[in-house]
Every structure is written in structure tokens, then in C-alpha cells.
Structure 1
Amino acid sequence: MSFSTQLRKESDVIFQGIFKHPFVDGLGKGELPKEALIHYVKADFEYLNAFINIYGLAIAKSDTREDMQYFQEKIGFILNSEIHPHNNLCQVAGVNYNDLKGFPLPPTADHYVGHMKSTAQQGSMGELLAALLPCPWTYLDIGHYLKDSFNPGPEHPFYEWITFYAKQETASVTTELRDRLDRWAETVGEIEKEKAKQAFIKSCQLEYAFWEMAYTQEKWPFTMVTEEV
């Protein structure tokens, strides 16, 4: 059993919980509050900016130009492709995508970003890959789960979102990250792999928490108002 397959098996309870989360279920049913969609897009835009930062740190940790080029291409995927599912949610919510950019991260998303950045800065390349992997992997599985469970047609409000994450291009991101993590795991000891495993599981937990954050429209306890001088 490959290292990534083992990680997926041990975290299956979290994946199953994500599939059953009311936000994900609402995507399948085509029924979600406008406010939850907006909250999700605001947070996810900034989260993906952080994801780009992590790819940049991966480039800094890379020893070969092939690795550097790989992570550079993944930055391009986020910048040029992942705007499409965001636009789908904005269309359903009836808002302009550009109006949802640049907002502070809610507590859970802020914690998730902090986890990824600290892991990338202080950990090995394997820990970095393990911290990143749950995001594309859970979304890939969500896309297939919703497609199989609800069989959405083009008239479905979230058809573009679901089909985007169920398509081959998204699957390739997950497969490539898994392959890199598995190759790394073959060269290190059990202590290093355990650290990567913990990074992976924590990211899985935070993926679930991210959906909960969006559905409940989580906010910081106090709203701070800056007085003009």
C-alpha cells in the first residue's frame, strides 16, 4: 500500500463527514443560502492566495528545475482555472466576484492557512506536500460524489462547480501530488512519515471545518472599527 493510499484510508471518516456536510449536500441539491456562498468565496479566495504562497515555498525547497517548473504550473492552475467554480457560486448568489476579494480570513480559514504556512516553512518537502494534498483530494472526491449521487445536468445551479472538480484536470493535480509524496516517503524513515501523516490529517480536519465555517458564516467574536483621525 502506498503512503498516500494509507493516509486516505486512515482519514476516510473525515472524507465521509465532508460528503455529508450540509454545505456539500446543498451543492448537490442546488440549495444554499446566498450568504453562505458569499462567505465561502470570500474565504476561499484568500485561502487560495495562501496556497499559491505555499507553492512558492515549495519552489524554494526544490533542488531541480523540473520540480520548480511543476510547482510554477500549479500556481497557474489556481490563477487561471480555479476562478471558474468561484464564478459559478457568485452567479448563483447574484454578486460580482471582484466585490468578494480582499476580505480578512474568518478564524477557521486563518487557522488553516497558518497550519499550511508553518508546515511549509518549518517542515520537510514531504510535510509540505502532505499539508497541501487534502485540499485537491477532498474536492476531487466531492466532485465525483456529487456527480454520482445527484447526476446534475446543465440546468443545475452548481453544475459548473461540480463538473469542474470531477474532471480529469483536477484529478491530475491530486495524482501528481500523491505521486510526489509517495516518492518522498520511500526515501525517509518512520519519524518523518509520521510528521507528514499528522500534517495530512490536520489539513483533512480543517477541510471539514472550512465547510462548517462557510455554512455557519463564522466570524471573529468582535468587529473592530477603526476610527478616522
Structure 2
Amino acid sequence: MGYCFNDLIAACRDDWRRYTEHDFVRALGRGDLNDASFRHYLKQDYLFLLQFSRAYALAAYKSQDLESLQGAFKGMQTILEVELGLHLAYCREWGIDDSELSRLPEARATLAYTRYVLDTGSRGDLLDLHVALAPCMVGYADIGRWLADHPETLRSGDNPYDAWITMYASPDFQASAERERHWLDDQLSQVSSARFERLARIFSDATRLETDFWQMGLELSD
């Protein structure tokens, strides 16, 4: 029996729902999230992106063929040359300057998830690493789409977080996530049941750590 990405979600459906429909996410959609919570999230997400780029460097090291190596290079290049620049500009719009970001300590939730990803990738192979990253890479696309379709979501000028929703619901971001889904579907179709169980545990752990990242924003925790 071949597996696919949806089987990973099915293996931890309650955790996935708690992550993708978290109170932080719902508040973003309604537009009533506390400003301080969003700023705290933005700051930590900047630090997360730095570690995310390291994960792509690790993916390059773990790659066994040219296509995988090129994909890892493009992912790291996109983060360093595009996403970080956009994130810095977005932070400035929220009154967070570059010098403040450069002095930030990593919150425990940031440390927990990013180091879990890097440790999992270091100990395992490329598929282990991608599965550990999937709650972020694919999860944010699911969240963006869910918010865009949800009847309680306020859009346009009525919601100060509309730009965030628009970014993750955008065709470009959705297409990137879909490519990752297809890659995972192809890889998972070839694994044994024992291997899938180990991957499902990685995915579940990473999903719970992403949920903690939202909670960190709500609670303004360090």
C-alpha cells in the first residue's frame, strides 16, 4: 500500500486541526488579534526564517541527485534573497526596525521547533527533513486558504492582518506548497509501513511544535 501526504495529516488529525485552526489563526482572520501578539510573532518569525535557510542548506547536503540539490539551493536562495527582505519590510510597517531584530533572543518555542527540524534532518535523510518542515511549508498554505474561505474572516481594510492572509493564500505560495505536496506524495508512496510510522511521528511532533509557536505569540512568551 502506498502512502501520501494526506496520510500524515490523518495520522495526527487532531494535532493538525489544533495547529491550522489555532486561536491565534482565528484571531488573525477576525482582525482582533492583539497588536503586541502579532509583533512578537513577527519578530520570532524573522529568527525562524534564518534557521529555515539553514535547513535548506542541510537539505542540499542531504541531496542525492541534481534535482534535489537544485531544489534545496532555490529554497535557500528564495528565503535569503526574497522572503527575508519582504519580512523585514513588513516588520518595518509594524514599527519593528532591523536593529531591533538583530538583537533579538530566540524564544523557547522558536528554539524548540527550529532545532527539532535541524536535528531530525541531521540524524535522518532528506525525506525526514522535508516531513519535519512540512507543517510550516504546507501548513501555512492550508492556513492561508482556510482563512481566505472562512466566513468569519474579514478582508481588505477592515482587517489589519489582511496582507498576511493574502500572502499565504496567494497563487504563488499555494503553488509552492502544492509542489512540496507532490514531492512528498511521490516519496511517501515508496516507503514501508514501519518507515511511515516513524515519519508520522516526526510530522506529529513538528505539528505540535508549530502549535506552540502560535501559542507563544498569544501569550507573548519568551
Return the TM-score normalized by structure 1.
Answer: 0.85
Out of 211, 217, 222, the position equivalent to 1:214 is 217
Q: Contact 2:51/2:114 (CA < 8 Å) preserved in 1?
A: yes
Contact 2:138 2:180 in 1 (8 A): no
- What is the distance in 1 between the residues matched to 2:64 and 2:86? 33
Structure 2 residue identity aligned to 1:146:
L
Greater Cα offset, 146-155 or 61-70: 146-155
Q: Residue 179 in 1 paired to residue 182 in 2?
A: yes
Q: Count the aligned residue pairs.
A: 218
- The 3-state SS of whatever aligns with 2:160 is coil
The alignment's C-alpha RMSD in Å is 2.1
Q: Which ranges in structure 1 are unaligned for 5 or more consecutive residues?
A: 220-229
- The aligned runs of 1:93-112 (5 Å cut-off) are 93-112=94-113
Shift of 1:181: 2.2
Could you tell me which runs of 5 or more consecutive residues in structure 2 were left unpaired when the two chains were aligned.
none
Moved >4 Å (runs of 4+): none
Letter in 1 for 2:43: K
Q: Secondary structure at the match of 1:207?
A: helix
Q: Which has the higher contact order (CA 8 A, sep 6+)?
A: 2
Q: Percent identity?
A: 26
Q: What letter matches 1:170 in structure 2?
A: F
Report deviation, 1:214. Answer: 1.2
Q: CA deviation at 1:34?
A: 2.8
> Is the alpha carbon distance of 1:163 and 1:86 closer, same or farther for their aligned partners in structure 2, counting shifts above 3 Å?
farther
Q: Deviations over 1:127-155 (max 9, x none)?
A: 11100111022211111121112251255
> Aligned partners of 1:86 and 1:55: how far apart in 2?
20
CA distance in structure 2 between the partners assigned to 1:136 and 1:102 by the alignment: 26
Instruction: Quote the Cα distance in structure 1 between the aligned partners of 2:102 and 2:185.
Output: 35
- Cα 1:90–1:29, aligned 2, differ >3 Å: closer, same or farther? farther
